[in-house]
Amino acid sequence: MRFAGKVAVVTGGAGGIGRASARLLAEQGAKVVVGDLNQAAGEAVASDIRAAGGEAAFAPVDVADYESVARLVQTAVETYGGIDIMFNNAGIFGDGSQNVIDMPIEAYHRMIAINQHGVYYGIKAAAEQMRAQGRPGVIINTASIYAYIADKNQFPYHASKAAVIGMTKAAALELARYDIRVVAIAPGMIDTGLVDQWRQDERVWNTIQKAHMRRKLGTADQVAQVVAFLASDEASFVNGHAYFVDDGAASFKR
Ligand code: NAD
């Protein structure tokens, strides 16, 4: 119960990585606010956590809208009395169909609004509340190995995830004086709804698997274990960096 007495907010909490993390944080004692655009799925996650004996509430959020993110943090304050852990995790992926020239500018802006601005809003809203509380906090941002290595036809995704790494460093430096740690995770390909679009195509699926040293996608639970570690006091000297959770995918030439 390493998170007993702590309050965590998880964006994208209805999806693969967010759901697994919300469950694990709750299992280890945190009171969790599950935030997501998908109301039905988010409510189901919160109610599953409660059924398993944990504490959780769902709150709708669109991370592309600052007011919405600020309301999400406020829900944590009103429901559980504050916020100790903010997991800025909501994100979308491209369909890989268009290159940097042909992709509509609107598609770029949408990706940046969710994956990049959404993380900024989460950092800002959570840190403001944490500073007001006057006690230590942790902010975890979901980046990707695609912050570091390029794939074709995912231009805005790369831009957004590289920005998450930059924001993590800058926020960690600025928030250190309030004893708020800011870290990121950089997952490889994880078997969630995000990669569903390629599941039926055997050739593409094999290529994705082979991108990892042990030739398998990761699971959301494997990522959640790292999220929980980073959120815990055991990671008290980890700050301003991204943690790779990628079975070496970003470390070898394929
Ligand atoms: P997922 O699709 O299962 O979950 C994403 C969740 O985010 C969904 O529940 C969705 O409803 C929510 N969401 C989308 N837009 C939102 C918005 N505007 N406001 C609030 N919620 C919104 O995918 P996942 O794999 O769990 O992805 C979580 C994070 O992990 C994303 O940031 C993604 O980029 C990142 N990531 C995923 C992989 C992977 O291979 N699955 C790899 C690296 C990084």
Centre of ligand 1 to C-alpha 92, Å, is 5
What is the sign, positive or negative, of the torsion defined by CA atoms of 16, 17, 19, 20?
positive
pLDDT tens digits, residue range 166-197?
Answer: 999 999 999 999 999 999 999 999 999 999 99
254: pLDDT strictly greater than 90: no
Atom of ligand 1 nearest to the CA of 143: 44
Q: Which domains does the chain have, with CATH numbers?
A: 7-245 (3.40.50.720)
**Of 130, 26, 122, 120, whose CA–CA distance to 83 is shortest?**
130
**SS3 of residue 15 by DSSP:** coil
Residue-level pLDDT at 240 = 98
The active-site residue out of 120, 148, 157, 243 is 157
157 in catalytic set: yes
pLDDT digit string, tens, across residues 206-236: 999 999 999 999 999 999 999 999 999 999 9
Centroid of ligand 1 to alpha carbon of 115 (angstroms): 9
Q: Which residue minimizes the CA distance to atom 2 of ligand 1?
A: 194
| Statement: residue 39 has pLDDT above 90 | yes
Mean pLDDT of the chain: 98
Ligand 1 center–CA 142 separation, angstroms: 9
Beta-sheet strand order (sheet of 55-60): 55-60, 31-36, 7-11, 85-88, 137-142, 180-187, 242-245
- Inform me whether the pLDDT recorded for 202 exceeds 90: yes
What's the CA angle centered on 29, arms 26 and 32, to 5 degrees?
A: 40
Q: Give 38 Cα–ligand 1 centroid separation in angstroms.
A: 11
pLDDT per residue as tens digits for the range 113-140: 999 999 999 999 999 999 999 999 999 9
Give the binding-site residues of ligand 1, using a 6 Å CB cut-off: 11-12, 14-18, 36-38, 61-64, 89-93, 114, 142, 144, 187, 189-190, 192-195
Direct distance between the N- and C-terminal alpha carbons of the chain, in angstroms, rounded to an integer: 41
> How far apart (Å, rounded) are the C-alpha atoms in residues 56 and 60?
13
Considering only 58-62, 186-190, 199-203, which range has the smallest mean pLDDT?
199-203
Alpha carbon nearest to ligand 1 atom 8, residue: 15
- pTM of this structure: 0.99
